Structure 1
Amino acid sequence: MTDATLFIREFVRTRRDTGAIAPSSSRLARALARHVAPGAGHPRAVLEVGPGTGAVTRHIKDRLGPQDTLDLAEANPRFAELLQRAYGDDPRLRLLTGPVQEHELDSYDTIVCGLPFANFDAATTEEILGGLLSALRPGGTLSFFAYAGIPPLRRVLTVGTARERTLAVQAVLGRTLRRHAFRTETVLGNLPPARVHHLAPAGEPALRAG
């Protein structure tokens, strides 16, 4: 089974957790991995949350040095099995299975997140983003993406409790971006087009790589 076939199957099985209909494109992957940068005299620690079939993982791995480490936090057991087969022989990589908020995270220079926050509730979104930002080392960055044009569509097309949940999640994301985002870039070469947000802990300078 190809990675794309597995991704589509899991989208059908667990749409809420998978979120996307196709793996991230190379352009989106490069944008998400933009701040996986050379360390300043120390081994880098990187975390990828929601790597799925590894579309972004491959780009992150290419940027790692021999002493760097990459933790992969994947909740979907079938994706986790695929990642274990693909990267289990690389001592720099460690697989964390289950929801990321259930793990006691280490501290990281760079975090790349591919979770579909639009599919979560506000409390879960706030818990995950808060935990990831707290896990950043001084000068570290958190990068995540959202599909361009989807938030206003959700506001228009949802009603009742679904609309209330959508508005609450978007409020959490808006507050987080206003406080922590230092750059947002649009990636047109993806299905659908996406916006990548780069964040840093409030009051701390980020490593501006790439």
Structure 2
Amino acid sequence: MTNTASDTLLFLRSWLTKPLEVAAIAPSSTRLAAAMTTEISRYTGDVLELGPGTGIFTRALLQNGVRQDQLVLVERNPAFAALLRGRFPEATLIEGDAQHLRLPATRKIGAAISGLPLLSMPRQAVRDILEAVFRHLANDGCLFQFTYGPRCPVPAALLEVLRLEASFLRWVPLNLPPASVYQLSRRPA
């Protein structure tokens, strides 16, 4: 299903073309993929994945029992989108920007995972993305986000405005670079 060497080459070409869009020096590791998806199973419901890239998190979701037809993949890089379309033909693939995400009202999302480089994005873009994600998430749904930074990539003031809370879940030292995983959820009423 995967070709690690060709995935790495595609990743590096994309990084060289648009370094701030890719915003990583290497593809995510299987350890980070496991850390990002460990809370999600086929019982979670539909899963939204932002910035799936070459599909490392997508494969981890499938290993957790999530079916392809439960996946909504949002990828704006045309090369990554073409790769994903071939690898996961039963998934819903949206080739576009997560900032403008619109799903049918009938599509209920149980969880979301994000490989987006929030730290390199303008604050308004981050706000638009979070609003779009939480508009489609079930009330008890969570967004799982990783970062290479020392703290949550969503500023506390923005979490406050959006009535969200962030919880540190785990550190993944054996990723290049090391990463931290956070869970974002709605604040209790």
TM range (shorter): 0.7 to 0.9
Taking structure 1 as reference, are residues 177 and 187 closer, same or farther at Cα in structure 2, changes over 3 Å only? farther
Which residue of the partner structure matches residue 174 of structure 1?
156
Structure 2: how far apart are the matches of 1:66 and 1:30? 16
Taking structure 1 as reference, are residues 113 and 65 closer, same or farther at Cα in structure 2, changes over 3 Å only? closer
- Corresponding letter in the other structure for 1:196: V
Taking structure 1 as reference, are residues 177 and 191 closer, same or farther at Cα in structure 2, changes over 3 Å only? farther
User: TM (normalized to structure 2)?
Assistant: 0.85
User: How many matched pairs?
Assistant: 179
Which residue of the partner structure matches residue 5 of structure 1?
9
Matching of residues 106-125 of structure 1 within 5 Å:
106-125=107-126
Which residue of the partner structure matches residue 35 of structure 1?
39
Do 2:148 and 2:179's aligned partners in 1 also have CA atoms closer than 8 Å? yes
**Cα root mean square deviation, aligned:** 2.3
Taking structure 1 as reference, are residues 7 and 136 closer, same or farther at Cα in structure 2, changes over 3 Å only? same
Structure 2: how far apart are the matches of 1:201 and 1:177? 9
Which residue of the partner structure matches residue 148 of structure 2?
147
Do 2:50 and 2:98's aligned partners in 1 also have CA atoms closer than 8 Å? yes
Specify the SS of the correspondent of 2:130: helix
Question: Cα deviation per residue 1:40-76 (whole Å; 9 max; x = unaligned)?
Answer: xxx7110100000111111012223559600100010
Structure number with greater Rg is: 1
Structure 2: how far apart are the matches of 1:129 and 1:173? 12
Which stretches of structure 1, 4 residues or more, deviate above 2 A after TM superposition?
Answer: 64-68, 172-179
Greater shift in the superposed pair: 176-185 or 69-78: 176-185
Do 1:182 and 1:198's aligned partners in 2 also have CA atoms closer than 8 Å? yes
- Corresponding letter in the other structure for 1:9: R
Question: Cα deviation per residue 1:91-126 (whole Å; 9 max; x = unaligned)?
Answer: 3x1111010122313431010000001111111011
Which residue of the partner structure matches residue 201 of structure 1?
186
2:97 equivalent to 1:99: yes
Greater shift in the superposed pair: 77-86 or 104-113: 104-113
Percent of pairs with identical residues:
34
Structure 2 residues without counterparts, runs of 5 or longer: none
Which residue of the partner structure matches residue 76 of structure 1?
77
Structure 1 residues without counterparts, runs of 5 or longer: 152-169, 205-210
Which residue of the partner structure matches residue 189 of structure 1?
174
- Corresponding letter in the other structure for 2:78: P
Question: Cα deviation per residue 1:17-56 (whole Å; 9 max; x = unaligned)?
Answer: 11111111111101111221342xxx71101000001111
Structure 1: how far apart are the matches of 2:66 and 2:48? 15
State the shift of 1:130 in Å: 2.0
Taking structure 1 as reference, are residues 175 and 32 closer, same or farther at Cα in structure 2, changes over 3 Å only? farther
Structure 2: how far apart are the matches of 1:184 and 1:96? 28
Specify the SS of the correspondent of 2:32: helix
Which residue of the partner structure matches residue 156 of structure 1?
none
Do 2:114 and 2:145's aligned partners in 1 also have CA atoms closer than 8 Å? yes
Which residue of the partner structure matches residue 86 of structure 2?
85
State the shift of 1:199 in Å: 1.5
User: TM (normalized to structure 1)?
Assistant: 0.77
